[in-house]
Amino acid sequence: MLTFIVRRLLWAALVMFVISAFVFVLFFKTPGVDPARAIAGRNPSPQILGEIRHQFGLDKPFPVQYGLMMKDLFISRDLVSYSNQGVKVVPEIFAAAPATLSLVFGAAVIWVVMSIILGIAAALLRGTIVDPLLMILALIGISMPVFWAGEVANLITQSRFHDTFLFSWVPPLGYTAFTQSPVGWFTGLIIPWITLSILYIGLYARVLRANIIETEGEDYVRTARAKGLTERRVLLRHTLRGSMITYVSLFGLDFAALVAAGALLTEVVFAIHGVGLLFYQSLNNLDLPTIMAIVVYGAFFIVLASALVDIAYAWLDPRVRPT
Partner 1 sequence: MSTDHDGDALLRVEHVKKYFPIRKGILLQREVARVHAVDDVSFEVRPGETLGLVGESGCGKSTLARCIARLYELTSGSVVFDGRDISRLPRRRLRPVRRGLQMVFQDPYASLNPRKRVGTIISDPLRIHRQGNRGEIKRQVRRLLELVGLSPEHVNRYPHEFSGGQRQRIGVARALALHPKLVIADEPVSALDVSIRAQVINLLDDLQDELSLTYIFIAHDLGVVRHVSDRIAVMYLGKIVEISPAEELYRHPVHPYTEALLSAVPIPDPDLSDQREHIVLEGDVPSPVAPPPGCRFHPRCRYATDICSREEPPLVAHGSPDHVAACHHPLSFSRAAAAGAPASVEDA
Partner 2 sequence: MMTDPLLEVRNLKVSFRTEDGTVQAVDGVSLTLAEGETLGIVGESGSGKSVTMMSVMRLITDPNARFEGEVLYKGRDLMALTQDQIRGIRGAGIAMIFQDPMTSLNPVYRVGWQITEQIRAHESISSQAARARAIDLLKSVGIPHASERVDDYPHQFSGGMRQRVMIAMALSCNPDIIIADEPTTALDVTIQAQILSLIRKLRDDFGTAVVLITHDMGVVAEMADRVAVMYAGRIVEQGSRRDVFYQPQHPYTWGLLGSIARLDRPKPERLATIPGLPPSLLNLASGCAFRARCAHRFERCLETPALLDRLGNGHLDACHLEPQAKKDARAEAAPPELVEDAP
Binding-site ranges for partner 1 (CB under 8 A): 3, 6-7, 10
CB 295 within 8 A of CB 261: no
CA angle 20, 22, 25 (to 5 degrees): 110
CA angle 268, 274, 278 (to 5 degrees): 70
Within 112-151, the residues that bind partner 2 by CB under 8 A are: 126-127
Cα torsion angle, 304, 310, 313, 317, sign:
negative
Q: Which is nearer to partner 1, 6 or 68 (CB)?
A: 6
Q: Which is nearer to partner 2, 151 or 214 (CB)?
A: 214
Q: Which is nearer to partner 2, 4 or 105 (CB)?
A: 4
From partner 2, partner 1, none, interface partner of 3 (C-beta below 5 to 8 A by class): partner 1
Sequence length of the chain is: 323
Q: Which of 72, 216, 267, 287 binds partner 2 (CB under 8 A)?
A: 216
In the bound complex, what is the minimum distance in angstroms from residue 6's beta carbon to partner 1? 6
* Residue 184: Cβ-neighbour burial (10 angstroms; 0-12, 13-18, 19+): middle
Q: CA-CA distance, 151 to 232, in Å (whole number)?
A: 41
From partner 2, partner 1, none, interface partner of 41 (C-beta below 5 to 8 A by class): none
In the bound complex, what is the minimum distance in angstroms from residue 242's beta carbon to partner 2? 7
Report DSSP state, residue 80. B
Q: Which is nearer to partner 2, 139 or 245 (CB)?
A: 245
Q: Which is nearer to partner 1, 7 or 222 (CB)?
A: 7
**Based on C-alpha coordinates, what's the Rg of the chain?**
24
CB 170 within 8 A of CB 192: no
Indicate whether 220 belongs to the interface with partner 2 (CB under 8 A): yes
From partner 2, partner 1, none, interface partner of 160 (C-beta below 5 to 8 A by class): none
- Enumerate the β-bridge partners of residue 128: 126
From partner 1, partner 2, none, interface partner of 222 (C-beta below 5 to 8 A by class): partner 2
Residues that bind partner 2 (CB under 8 A): 126-127, 216, 218-220, 222-231, 233, 237-238, 241-242, 316-319
